[in-house]
């Protein structure tokens, strides 16, 4: 399987991967604008726009959009992230023209009807309330906010009740016109697709997508910080983070390997020590998120109030041991997990379309599977050990806690214990 790429005269990029053994296809539009692209008064507008795109166009009502795609057994959806927004359809391969037509319709001819907008704002307000009621979600929003204080990249994707309630049709139209332009978007398809046909369909249907460049996002600066929200809950949610590596960094894959070694599965250090040996929580994990110019290396766990102090001490100790000693077998096991995850994702047209689009937005070209595998394979123990020392011993961690967390150690105490053990 190989990826074919065509840049249209309009500046819009079309990338496809043919998977001829399938009967289905996924086609979507990925736009390089997300919550960090918003101005202060626009907080939450990227996510609201994602909702409103399905609420009627000059040629289709909201109901007709849903009925047309489901009449052929397909599904259409969207998602907003910090740096991207995507709109995609999963369909039988023969129904590809319909998916292109509907996606083009909602992205170039949405009407943003005021009555629909009022209703959908109410729906999003309920979504914000649900997120606030879910401590396991809230703690990640708080962590991101503390890591990048006062910056668009640190704001919750959903927005606030005040900002969402303030949006009118003109706000949505202005944001759409500013960011949803050909140079800032990729149409990606994977499955039983023909590249030339996709190019032809996109050229015809997306002719009205505005051309030209888009404004860049505000550069992100890691600030760090600490926040705890005391609530009467049965579990305490704990997240801590250190500055990671940007996704185009040479150390990005090494950071992913380090996250896997530390908390990427049942064989990981944190799972074995904190869950299995000490029995202090049900689950614990480590993760690494890359952004354009920085990254976030995080750890998450949930436990009872009485166990939180011992859990945090155990996490500090295990990080210190990781800095002091990582063995070749751990690195090999982590790389095997990453290779398997990558190769398994090649079997899903949804995953492939997403991977291709994100690669185009990040690097301006698709990465071959071999190239990605080689980058993973190039990571060795020495590199992971060096990176562990740089990430964990460079500064105090960012800390966010939700629940019965009055007695939790603070970030400076955690950092002191970590430094002392290392």
Plot region of 229 (φ>0 → left; ψ -120 to 50 → alpha; else → beta): beta
Question: In this structure, are residues 295 and 252 in contact, taking their beta carbons and an 8 Å threshold?
Answer: yes
Query: Regarding beta strands 226-230 and 398-403, do their DSSP bridges make them parallel or antiparallel, or are they unpaired?
Result: parallel
Plot region of 11 (φ>0 → left; ψ -120 to 50 → alpha; else → beta): left
- The 3-class secondary structure across the chain, one letter per residue, is CCEEEEECCCCCEEEEEECCCCCEEEEEEEECCCHHHCCHHHCCHHHHHHHHCCCCECCCCHHHHHHHHHHCCCEEEEEECCCCEEEEEEEEHHHHHHHHHHHHHHHHCECCCHHHHHHHHHHHHHHHHHHHCCHHHHHHHHHHHHHCCCCHHHCCCCCCHHHHHHCCHHHHHHHHHHHCCHHHEEEEEEECCCHHHHHHHHHHHCCCCCCCCCCCCCCCCCCCCEEEEECCCCCEEEEEEEECCCCCCCCHHHHHHHHHHHHCCCCCHHHHHHHHHCCCCCCEEEEEEECCCCEEEEEEEEECHHHHHHHHHHHHHHHHHHHHCCCHHHHHHHHHHHHHHHHHHCCCHHHHHHHHHHHHHHHCCCCCHHHHHHHHHCCCHHHHHHHHHHHHCCCCCEEEEEECCCCCCCHHHHHHHHHHHC
Question: In this structure, are residues 200 and 128 in contact, taking their beta carbons and an 8 Å threshold?
Answer: no
Catalytic status, residue 371: no
Which is catalytic among the residues 50, 243, 318, 330?
50
Query: Regarding beta strands 185-191 and 75-80, do their DSSP bridges make them parallel or antiparallel, or are they unpaired?
Result: unpaired
Structure-block tokens of residue 205:
């249907």
For residues 109 and 112, give the distance between their C-alpha atoms in angstroms, rounded to a whole number: 9
Give catalytic residue positions: 50
């Amino acid at each position: 399987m190989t990826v074919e790429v065509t840049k249209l005269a309009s500046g819009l990029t079309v990338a496809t991967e043919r998977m001829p053994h399938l009967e289905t296809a996924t086609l979507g539009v990925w736009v390089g604008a997300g919550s960090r692209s918003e101005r202060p008064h626009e907080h939450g507008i990227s996510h609201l726009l994602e909702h409103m795109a399905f609420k009627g166009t000059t040629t289709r009502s909201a109901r007709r959009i849903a009925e047309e795609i489901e009449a052929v057994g397909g599904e259409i959806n969207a998602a907003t992230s910090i740096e991207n927004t995507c709109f995609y359809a999963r369909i039988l391969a023969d129904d590809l023209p319909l998916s292109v037509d509907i996606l083009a319709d909602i992205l170039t001819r949405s009407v943003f009807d005021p009555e629909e907008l009022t209703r959908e704002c109410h729906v999003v307000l309920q979504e914000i309330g649900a997120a606030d009621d879910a401590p396991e979600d809230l703690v990640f929003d708080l962590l991101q906010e503390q890591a990048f204080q006062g910056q668009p990249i640190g704001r919750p994707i959903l927005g606030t009740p005040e900002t969402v309630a303030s949006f009118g049709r003109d706000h949505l139209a202005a944001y759409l016109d500013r960011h949803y332009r050909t140079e800032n978007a990729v149409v990606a398809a994977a499955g039983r697709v023909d590249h030339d046909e996709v190019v032809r369909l996109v050229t015809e249907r997306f002719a009205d997508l505005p051309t030209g460049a888009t404004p860049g996002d505000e550069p992100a600066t890691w600030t760090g910080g600490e926040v705890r929200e005391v609530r009467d809950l049965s579990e305490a949610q704990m997240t801590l983070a250190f500055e990671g590596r940007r996704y185009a960094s040479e150390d990005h894959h090494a950071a992913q390997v380090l996250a896997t070694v530390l908390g990427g599965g049942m064989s990981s250090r944190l799972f074995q020590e904190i869950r299995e040996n000490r029995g202090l929580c049900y689950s614990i994990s480590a993760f690494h998120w890359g952004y354009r110019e920085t990254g976030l290396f995080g750890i998450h766990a949930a436990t009872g109030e009485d166990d939180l102090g011992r859990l945090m001490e155990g996490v500090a100790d295990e990080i210190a041991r990781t800095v002091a000693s990582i063995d070749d077998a751990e690195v090999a096991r982590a790389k095997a997990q990453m290779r398997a995850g990558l190769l398994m994702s090649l079997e899903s047209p949804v995953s492939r379309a997403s991977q291709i689009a994100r690669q185009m937005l990040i690097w301006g070209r698709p990465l071959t599977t071999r190239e990605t595998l080689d980058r993973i394979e190039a990571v060795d123990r020495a590199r992971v050990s060096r990176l562990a020392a740089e990430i964990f011993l460079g500064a105090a961690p960012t800390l966010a806690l939700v629940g019965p967390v009055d007695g939790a150690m603070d970030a400076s105490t955690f950092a002191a214990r970590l430094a002392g053990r290392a």
